[in-house]
Amino acid sequence: MASVDVNYMAVVVSALANMGLGSLWYGPLFGKQWMALMGITHESINAQKVKNEMWKAYALAFVGSLAMAYVLHHVMVLASSYFGTNGIQTGLSSAFWSWLGFVAPVTLGSVLWEGKPWKLWWLMNSYYLLALLIMGSIIGAWM
């Protein structure tokens, strides 16, 4: 089994960028709309803050961001060797195809089976696409 040289700094910076984008996306940009579509109230968020559980959610979200960046890095290494490309081009194409092939279809279940509105699916999937494109660009720039 071949070993992949992982640029861990690029992975960490990508994960941090993802967290930053998420705080903007689900905060000042679309936070109210997202909360309304999810049925989340300010009271429920404040209850989490009172229980001092918000740090757990952010910590787990960061671990998820690290995993996403780490796997995207591997996908990009495979894509660059297969297509003979490198850099940001590889990052953008790998991010897009990963989103289209894995994220978009899996999250579609929330609309089809859980009765969530399409508007919520578009809101969340736009975030995931943008997050992956940013992460792919960062990793690609450091490859």
Sequence ranges of the domains in the chain? 8-141
Measured between alpha carbons, how far is residue 116 from residues 36, 37, 98, 107, 123 in Å?
Answer: 12, 8, 23, 10, 12
Q: What is the pLDDT of residues 72-89, one digit of tens each?
A: 999 999 999 888 888 999
Top-confidence residue, 41 or 62? 62
37 pLDDT above the threshold of 80: yes
Handedness of CA 4, 93, 118, 57 (dihedral sign): positive
Please give the full DSSP string across 43-94, using - where no structure is assigned.
HHHHHHHHTT-HHHHHHHHHHHHHHHHHHHHHHHHHHHHHH---THHHHHHH
